[in-house]
Amino acid sequence: MKKVVITGGTGYLGKHLVNELHKAYKIVILTRNPHKYKNMGNVLYEEWDNLNTIEEKLEEAYAIINLAGENIGSKKWTQDQKKKILNSRITTAQTIKKSIEICNNKPKVWIQASATGYYGVQNHTVFDEDSPKGEGSFLSDVCYEWEKPINALDSHIRKLIIRTGVVLSSDSSLVKQLIMSFKFGVKSIPGNGGEYLPWIHIEDEVRAIKFLLSHEECSGIFNLTSPESSSMQQIINEIGKYKNSIISLHIPKFFLKLIFGKEMTEEIILTNQKIYPKKLLDAQFQFKYTNIQEAISQIIQGLNKK
């Protein structure tokens, strides 16, 4: 059974990915706190804190999947928080690069997480993998630096960068936040509701990573988003089909900026991007959820079962 090493495997996406990959691979999750988790079957939690320990784990591994990084939406973007967001990504990616370079038996594949924030926000533009980096954007700069180490690796292994949009599921923070106001009879809409959100259902995110891991002809940059971007208004309206509300309330942009700051409001809360997963579709990947109606329906069903 092939071994796959994962950093960030205890996070939101990592947990979903491990639940799927352990069926076909031996999974080694690198964490600073392995004592918090219990090894189960093909899933092992092992400690790492320096270059040597990562290099040891990568010896004879089939793949390394790097998902590690400070959550970009969990706290307000103070200068200290922005440093954590950037440094947490750069440090791990650089360490993996150095570890691969000194491995005697290098992994065959490196999958490096990134985000659609790379493209910045440019109205009326549809971005694919050939689109340039956005300018004047904190997240575009973070993604650029995040991708640097894998781009600089000159070892002859298969390298993949996955630029992921907002991952939707019954346990995603965005879905929980959008549903919260419905509990008080309010359909709450940030901004004017017309801003487009590049999204992907968690099942398609996991399936896409598994697809890229096993298809040796795939390499380079891949956008992991649904082929069909949706506006925030469309997403909330779909939720509204299952959740009752008395009134609709738009939260003004200036108010959001007062609470979260200008950068975080424009780059996360009121993201306005249309992203197209051209390379994934060209590789014949079949999405399970291509439109927001199907995705929200499944998510609400999942919530009702909890």
Q: Is position 295 within any domain?
A: no
| Residue 129 maps to a domain | yes
Range of the structural domain that residue 159 is part of:
3-165+200-226+276-282
CA-based end-to-end distance of the chain: 34
User: What distance in Å separates the CA atoms of residue 161 and residue 222, rounded to the nearest whole number?
Assistant: 6
Residue numbers in the chain where pLDDT is lower than 70 = 51, 122-124, 306
Q: Which SS3 state, helix, strand or coil, does residue 120 take?
A: coil
pLDDT score, position 123: 66
Structure tokens at 47: 């400690």
Residue 54 corresponds to which tokens in the numbers above? 């990562």
Q: Which phi and psi angles does 199 have, rounded to 5°?
A: -125, 165
To which H or E segment does residue 96 belong?
Answer: helix 79-102
Segment 88-116, tens digit of pLDDT: 999 999 999 999 999 999 999 999 999 99
- Largest interatomic CA distance in the chain: 64
Q: How far is 62 from 148, CA to CA, in rounded Å? A: 22
pLDDT digits (tens, 9 = 90+) for 25-39: 999 999 988 989 999
Is the residue at 189 inside a domain? no
Residue 188: inside a domain, yes or no? no
Distances (CA, A) of 185 to 188, 233, 303: 9, 17, 18
pLDDT value for 48: 84
Q: Rounded to an integer, what distance in angstroms lies between the CA atom of residue 120 and that of residue 114?
A: 13
pLDDT value of residue 51: 67
Residue at token pair 């994934």: 280
Predicted local confidence at residue 234, as pLDDT:
95
Among all chains, which residue has been given the structure tokens 């590789």? 283
pTM: 0.95
Question: If you count them, how many residues does the chain have?
Answer: 306
Neighbour-count burial for 72-108, b at 16+ CB within 10 Å, e otherwise? bbeeebeeebbeebbebbbebbbbbbebbeebeebbe
Q: Is residue 251 part of a domain?
A: no
| Residue 173, in any domain of the structure | no
Give me the number of domains the chain comprises: 1
Output the six-digit token pair for 151.
């781009």
Q: What is the pLDDT of residue 306?
A: 67
Q: 292 in a domain, yes or no? A: no
Q: Is 8 contained in some domain? A: yes
Instruction: Report the C-alpha gap between 110 and 181 in whole angstroms.
Output: 41
CATH number reported for the structural domain that contains residue 44 in this entry: 3.40.50.720
